[in-house]
Structure 1
């Protein structure tokens, strides 16, 4: 049995209007739906407002003349303002939720030619969200007006492959944005790629503060600028990108640099100064090392972020600036808050989007693509192609991804290393001899204090922590157990937290619980203190 065709559409208060006989000479979109010989409209759900009941009745009568088999149901939708998106969407949503759709017996066409533009958009959204389980119907007048000419109609199925093409184009645009944030580097680390994917969504959808944490050289400043450039390309910001390292700000100079000052506010203030917050109006302000700000500056910044206004130094009149804050730090602000060095309310305000960028030692699989990217950059700067010999490249990557490579400065160290190699490469070829010399230089830079090489990700080098006497007396069992304990300690912020994690079950069997003391005594057996194993 063929399904019945049901059209859902708004009354066109202008296009469908007409009382005199001349109305049959013009194209009326709702009436035209029932005049196509190749299709039968079994039912029309005609949505209209209270003020247009007379026109709706007239339309029902006219349709009965040209298509007596079409049932016209007049559906009154009371909307005070048909141009109010929220009100119109709510009215359509309520109607759709109460309507008895029967898709197994009926097919639904949502007519989007009539009604206000807001009503048409809301109808589209109803179909897209499947609240109306059908397709869109678009009608158009004939090229030459003539009585009885219904014009044309088009059905648009949002589940068709052409809609998939649009989704694919959206996916391509998103991938381009991800590549942009990563500077086109085909990174392989899954955790880092997932991190960048979320940052991309936040960058283009939110104006809330973003906090980037991670070790020095992990790329916080670079990522903040790329986020700004991505937003600017989407016309989401029109102001500049303003960057400042808060570690360089001290005393009145900090307040003046950030918030500006009035002439004569302090000795040397010979003229008014706008300050960086005002300079970042309608743009992005990147405060690197935000944990270095003083308590007074933190309080002023909180007000500026929340209220978009603040007092310049020496002024009794507020100024305004609407900027997005991106903050960076290599400190643990949670600890700073607990110890009173950072305001808890400011931390809560900037911690809505908090992303920790991993260091280079945590992304060994990304070293090779970054090396290739840096070589391309060096080639552009030097004006000549630069490449590794096969043996030289293998030796460099073997060292770079090993536990011996500390990468204290992360990408800064890597960039400097590749720059040295590219500059010294004769005829643009990086030889094994150059790599050997560079690796010796890196070892000297990282271990010139005579300390043992740092452990790689997840590794614990006990020999660097224990005395020779203790090392010589350790059984393999004790060594493996101690390594596991130290590994847990390095993931915790305090002795107490580490104790709770290590004794999470046995502590329940004790009448007196002191996890920190149990862990302290365990470490003392090997001549170790918390400061030795905390890794901070």
Structure 2
């Protein structure tokens, strides 16, 4: 394969390239020195200048012709009045690069960054990094001793970092460290969760746009928001602090005051000015958990604060500023909340750029074991005693924890509490069968109590699914049972998932359980199907 012609692009060195009389050959001149080397053949030099250097250009042309007759010198006058004006130099170089006919198939370009002002050298670097000048950087330096014929040293820098294994590996390790940081070092085997954390790591580093974390209570939204803040803080992306507020605790006039602050006398009891949490999060990260609980007035004020970085405190006439990054969390379907008129569509659109749904523990059963081990390690470190399961006890707990009977309504909070209880009761640091059996019964009791408080049945209106005559013909028992079944269906992603929840206990007594078929037959008794339920939502 024929080697490519070597083309050097660089500025004239008004000082370094200059020289008079025969003594100039004793001096190291960067541009001329490139043509004096025996190991490199330069085919062409594209010499950039700002005019008024005709004498020096003529001398360089003659000297290059004498040292390397095969080297062609072409000059380009750029529209530069002030060689120290960054904007002017960069614009002139940009125009040159856009008009120059590069032929990368037959020519190899070296961008000489030794000559010219420091501004010119920086602009050459930036143009090469952005690939407007498709080549390598060429850096030359004088010989350590001024010896005749010594052409100095040269170094080529390829800005394609993927070619530098150590640098590429370092960037890869940095990314892996960031992902591990977000997961707090807890191993996960769930592909969906891993893919989500990988993307969040990239977004956290590169973007300041709002992030919306969706998922059930206890799925880890608050924890992940804090890790995003710590990661950005470590990479110098944020200067301020982490401010967290659960919007479900904000009610009435106090909601606006807590978030946006108030001025003295704004309302009864406002004895002094209050800055508010949005101002406390200036240059930091604001995590609004359960954002769906905010009132419509607070939502409108928040939208302005997110978009314009300014807002009015309660009772105030003058706007204040706060530049924060917003991470919002919710266990509600905000799309449905918008349709119901309970959440502003414009605010939802603004915070819905980067949306991630954290799966609940029942959807990450493969992660129960590593998270359980992590919790045990945390307990052992805190109390100074190693705690472990007996093999039989661990197998029994894992069999229950990964079964359909384990609904994990509190998700990772439930798991953390469960492990803590067992570790506390372990004699000599060993969790045995008896402790596990008692814990399983405790969890079942807790979940049954929680089931009574979920409100699943009360939120279902049978009139949306049955006609008046059908409802009138139902016994109270059948009506309540149907409401619960429909509520479970509406909170499940598939017929099979709903069936597993409804028949969690009885399915274990069957050799070939078919939860979906059992549920389908039950719904059919009332003239309902999974398809009709989905159409109704």
Asked if 1:29 corresponds to 2:33, the answer is: no
Tell me the residue number matched to 1:342: 343
Tell me the residue number matched to 1:94: 98
Deviations for 1:4-47, whole angstroms, at most 9, x for unmatched residues?
54232221445544253465444322222112122221222223
User: Does structure 2 conserve the Cα–Cα contact (< 8 Å) formed by 1:7 and 1:111?
Assistant: no
User: Does structure 2 conserve the Cα–Cα contact (< 8 Å) formed by 1:13 and 1:52?
Assistant: no
Change (3 A) 1:289 1:92: farther
Give me the whole-angstrom Cα distance separating, in 2, the residues matched to 1:169 and 1:527: 55
Listed as ranges, the matches of 1:59-98 within 5 Å are 59-78=60-79, 83-84=86-87, 87=91, 90-91=94-95, 93-95=97-99, 98=101
CA positional deviation for 1:283? 0.5
User: Does structure 2 conserve the Cα–Cα contact (< 8 Å) formed by 1:460 and 1:483?
Assistant: no
Give me the whole-angstrom Cα distance separating, in 2, the residues matched to 1:417 and 1:373: 13
Give me the whole-angstrom Cα distance separating, in 2, the residues matched to 1:382 and 1:527: 53
Tell me the residue number matched to 1:429: 430
CA positional deviation for 1:447? 2.2
User: Does structure 1 conserve the Cα–Cα contact (< 8 Å) formed by 2:256 and 2:298?
Assistant: yes
CA positional deviation for 1:2? 5.5
Give me the whole-angstrom Cα distance separating, in 2, the residues matched to 1:40 and 1:318: 66
Which residue of 524, 527, 532 maps to 1:525? 527
Change (3 A) 1:289 1:50: farther
CA positional deviation for 1:281? 0.7
Partner secondary structure for residue 427 of structure 2: coil
Change (3 A) 1:323 1:479: closer
The 10-residue stretch of structure 1 (134-143 or 198-207) with the greater mean CA deviation from structure 2 = 134-143
User: Does structure 1 conserve the Cα–Cα contact (< 8 Å) formed by 2:98 and 2:132?
Assistant: no
User: Does structure 2 conserve the Cα–Cα contact (< 8 Å) formed by 1:6 and 1:45?
Assistant: no
Given the two structures, how large is their TM-score scaled by the length of structure 2?
0.81
Given the two structures, how large is their TM-score scaled by the length of structure 1?
0.81
User: Does structure 1 conserve the Cα–Cα contact (< 8 Å) formed by 2:405 and 2:501?
Assistant: no
CA positional deviation for 1:247? 0.8
Give me the whole-angstrom Cα distance separating, in 2, the residues matched to 1:356 and 1:89: 47
Deviations for 1:399-451, whole angstroms, at most 9, x for unmatched residues?
11111110101111111111111111111111121111111111111124589
Change (3 A) 1:204 1:477: closer
CA positional deviation for 1:384? 1.3
Which residue of 449, 467, 480 maps to 2:517? 480
The answer for unaligned runs of 5 or more in structure 1 is: 467-475, 487-521
Listed as ranges, the matches of 1:159-178 within 5 Å are 163-178=164-179
Give me the whole-angstrom Cα distance separating, in 2, the residues matched to 1:388 and 1:485: 41
Give me the whole-angstrom Cα distance separating, in 1, the residues matched to 2:115 and 2:194: 46
Tell me the residue number matched to 1:114: 115
Change (3 A) 1:52 1:258: farther
Tell me the residue number matched to 1:418: 419
CA positional deviation for 1:465? 7.1
Give me the whole-angstrom Cα distance separating, in 2, the residues matched to 1:281 and 1:461: 44
The 10-residue stretch of structure 1 (128-137 or 194-203) with the greater mean CA deviation from structure 2 = 128-137
Tell me the residue number matched to 2:395: 394
CA positional deviation for 1:181? 0.1
Partner secondary structure for residue 262 of structure 2: coil
Give me the whole-angstrom Cα distance separating, in 2, the residues matched to 1:478 and 1:168: 49
Superposition RMSD in Å: 3.5
CA positional deviation for 1:226? 0.4
Deviations for 1:119-142, whole angstroms, at most 9, x for unmatched residues?
556655666676666544221112
Give me the whole-angstrom Cα distance separating, in 1, the residues matched to 2:428 and 2:516: 51
Deviations for 1:135-189, whole angstroms, at most 9, x for unmatched residues?
4422111223455432111234556986022111100010000000000012111
Change (3 A) 1:86 1:134: closer
Give me the whole-angstrom Cα distance separating, in 2, the residues matched to 1:247 and 1:534: 30
Give me the whole-angstrom Cα distance separating, in 2, the residues matched to 1:362 and 1:54: 78
User: Does structure 1 conserve the Cα–Cα contact (< 8 Å) formed by 2:239 and 2:284?
Assistant: yes
Change (3 A) 1:301 1:14: farther
Partner secondary structure for residue 68 of structure 1: coil
Give me the whole-angstrom Cα distance separating, in 2, the residues matched to 1:248 and 1:53: 77
Give me the whole-angstrom Cα distance separating, in 2, the residues matched to 1:222 and 1:207: 19
Give me the whole-angstrom Cα distance separating, in 2, the residues matched to 1:205 and 1:334: 27
The 10-residue stretch of structure 1 (319-328 or 52-61) with the greater mean CA deviation from structure 2 = 52-61
Asked if 1:10 corresponds to 2:32, the answer is: no
Give me the whole-angstrom Cα distance separating, in 2, the residues matched to 1:150 and 1:136: 18
Give me the whole-angstrom Cα distance separating, in 2, the residues matched to 1:252 and 1:58: 81
Change (3 A) 1:55 1:194: farther
Change (3 A) 1:523 1:122: farther
Change (3 A) 1:19 1:328: same
Tell me the residue number matched to 1:288: 289
Give me the whole-angstrom Cα distance separating, in 2, the residues matched to 1:6 and 1:529: 69
The 10-residue stretch of structure 1 (36-45 or 365-374) with the greater mean CA deviation from structure 2 = 36-45
Give me the whole-angstrom Cα distance separating, in 2, the residues matched to 1:79 and 1:353: 44
CA positional deviation for 1:204? 0.5
User: Does structure 2 conserve the Cα–Cα contact (< 8 Å) formed by 1:302 and 1:346?
Assistant: yes
Give me the whole-angstrom Cα distance separating, in 2, the residues matched to 1:391 and 1:483: 38
Partner secondary structure for residue 323 of structure 2: coil
Give me the whole-angstrom Cα distance separating, in 1, the residues matched to 2:380 and 2:433: 19
User: Does structure 1 conserve the Cα–Cα contact (< 8 Å) formed by 2:334 and 2:348?
Assistant: yes
Listed as ranges, the matches of 1:228-307 within 5 Å are 228-307=229-308
Q: May I ask how many residue pairs the two structures share in their alignment? A: 488
User: Does structure 2 conserve the Cα–Cα contact (< 8 Å) formed by 1:92 and 1:123?
Assistant: no
The answer for unaligned runs of 5 or more in structure 2 is: 453-480, 504-512
Give me the whole-angstrom Cα distance separating, in 1, the residues matched to 2:170 and 2:128: 21
The 10-residue stretch of structure 1 (400-409 or 63-72) with the greater mean CA deviation from structure 2 = 63-72
User: Does structure 1 conserve the Cα–Cα contact (< 8 Å) formed by 2:65 and 2:71?
Assistant: yes
